[in-house]
Amino acid sequence: MTLTSLYMRLLTAYPQHQFDLTRADSVGAQDDPSTPEVVIVFNHDNECIVDPLTCGFYPCDPLATYGLSPEDAAAIRAYNNIVAG
């Protein structure tokens, strides 16, 4: 899935969230050279979320925690190239 198609899908499916495209290095997400330069993030309780399958350092249920389907949370993680810890 391309960045544009994923971003548009998220905007359409979750109008209550504010999704943004931002430079990976500005949110501390560029730990790996294969991480894209631009990542998809969203704000939740004034926190910038890069990996919606975690809450802090711990795995979480993205539906209960952020209101995102597990499939969409996995798509964000996959695009952002976040490796599960």
**Would residue 66 count as lying in a domain?**
yes
**Would residue 58 count as lying in a domain?**
yes
3 state DSSP class of 66: helix
**Would residue 9 count as lying in a domain?**
yes
pLDDT at 83: 63
Cβ burial, residue 71 (10 Å; 0-12/13-18/19+)? exposed
**Would residue 69 count as lying in a domain?**
yes
Range of the domain at 36: 3-80
**Would residue 26 count as lying in a domain?**
yes
pLDDT at 18: 92
**Would residue 50 count as lying in a domain?**
yes
Regions of the chain with pLDDT less than 70: 29-32, 83-85
**Would residue 85 count as lying in a domain?**
no
> pTM for the whole thing?
0.88
- Other Cβ atoms closer than 10 A to 39: 24
